[in-house]
Amino acid sequence: MNTRPLVLVVMDGVGVGPGDRYDAVATADTPTFDRLRGAGVYQEIFASGTHVGLSSDSDMGNSEVGHNTMGAGRIIAQGAKRVDDAVLGGEIWEGAWRDVVTRATTGDGTLHLIGLLSDGNVHSSWEHLLLLLDHVKADGVQRVRLHTLFDGRDVEDRTADQYAERLEDALATRTEGTGLDWAIASGGGRMVTTMDRYEANWSVVEAGWRAHVQGTARPFTSVGEAIRVLREETPGISDQLLEAFTIVDQEGAPVGRVHDGDAVVIFNFRGDRAIELTRAFVEGSGFTGFDRGTVPDVFFAGMTLYDGDTNMPPVRLVQPPTITDTVSELIARAGLRQLAASETQKFGHMTYFWNGNRSDPFNAQTETYIDIPSDQIEFDKAPQMKAAETADYIVRALQEGGYDFLRSNLAGGDMVGHTGNFDSTVLAVEAVDAAVGAIAAAVEAAGGCLVVTADHGNAEDMVERDKQGQPRASEGGQPLWKTAHSTNPVPLYIVDYSDQEWAAVDGVDAAGLSNLAATLLTLLDLPVPENYRPSLVAVARNSG
């Protein structure tokens, strides 16, 4: 077994783009990337669509499925695809769904549907929401309230009004002439309302709680009025930053606060930004996220399992995929020591998602997890994020020795890319390049092996494009900056500073993130399971 350290760096959201002036990766000064490309094995691999278990090849990759796939070594049905399968097979309408309907049709019960209003298929699905509404109607639920979170990241920004209008039309189509009482009750932008993750900022969830549950957020008489006024107050504001609001009637009373006896369903299928609101609903007196006031007695269900270690939520409409024998589990069984380091925004990806939806180490004696607190400001204001600090942890660990496999995530390409600020994203990519450079120098000094890749694209394509791939502009001629992920491939650099040389394996079909686990095991001289997708490298020469 090779005992040199193996280091993996995931450059979150740094894909391979068109190389034009809207490509922040190509625009950035990246001497490390340039040097690594010529120093070892370089490939471009798939990180989106069916290659990572999503429904179609038009589906953008994302951090959750990317890290799941990298760690699993196989293509697992993910996200929307997992729920799609449950819908097609009828699984979703059995079990917990019947309990939801029973509660919502008992007495004065109301069904509350909370989630991201988006067809980006990253956190939620527009089609899933429409199917839920169809079944709600067929099951005779009289009173329904929608609590809408606006995207601006996984879909074109500043389209919240269009999605709200589509939802209002969908509600009207299903309720016209029926006497059904269905309405939108609250809303807000996803980055300031409800959808915090990794406990980075509980005030975001608290804002959602006030809007959705208590009905005490800023009042408006309609969702259209809310969006219009908030945009007028802050021209150019991104949908993801729209202030939380509550819809009220003519007397100023909230039209859809949550009461005892109601049913609540979060229709997001991705867990990282749904888990905190879930906890606010289901945890008892030990909850410490924020002051919830009086917690209503409701029947709560999530779309699927959001956290396997804590069994959150206890009730869900669709059971999650089971991912066993992940690469870190196999490395732990081999007795090798592992380190995972990331700032908070991607810590769960390098641990929970990487481990196949498991938060705890497989072997606490041989695994160390480092969570570096992220800044609690808009990321384009400090675009370097914690790249340098993350690199410092890896460098120190290499200098001290003792770890066989070290993995880390550099978040800037993704998190700053989501702001749509091109110049800041260029700075973020340059910070990532510098961090990779520092890590590479330490790996070389330790005689180790370096693997650098990304979980999906984002920073390499920062403009909205038409069907021909041409950049789109506003009526004033300004670029329509894009805040979403991409379907572009991602780079894979492998540089071994020991006495081994590696060559790319020819003929691997649709090489992608699912091949990374086998590649890592090969580099560690560990056996590759038969059900893994194949390694992308093989030994070219070993002078030892």
Nearest-5° Cα angle at 247, 259 to 192: 90
- Look at residues 164, 119, 278 and name the one whose alpha carbon lies nearest to residue 212: 278
Strand boundaries in 382-489, DSSP class E: 405-410, 449-453
Rounded CA separation 405/521 (Å): 10
The set of residues, in sequence order, having a beta carbon less than 8 Å from that of 490 and lying 6+ positions away, is: 14, 15, 16, 44, 45, 47, 453, 454, 455, 456, 457, 513
Rounded CA separation 517/69 (Å): 9
Residue of 48, 63, 408, 424 marked catalytic? 63
Rounded CA separation 411/418 (Å): 11
- Look at residues 215, 166, 211, 167 and name the one whose alpha carbon lies nearest to residue 189: 211
In the block, tokens 């090849």 appear at 57
In the block, tokens 């202030």 appear at 243
- Cβ neighbourhood burial of 107 (10 Å; 0-12, 13-18, 19+): exposed
Rounded CA separation 309/360 (Å): 8
Compute φ and ψ for 366, nearest 5 degrees: -120, 0
Q: Is the dihedral of CA 339, 344, 347, 348 positive or negative?
A: positive
Q: Which two tokens stand for residue 406?
A: 């070290």
Annotation says 63 is catalytic: yes
The set of residues, in sequence order, having a beta carbon less than 8 Å from that of 388 and lying 6+ positions away, is: 431, 434, 435, 438
Q: How far is CA 438 from CA 182, 431, 432, 443, in A?
A: 56, 11, 10, 9
Give the strand pairing for 245-247 and 218-220: parallel
Catalytic residues, which ones?
63
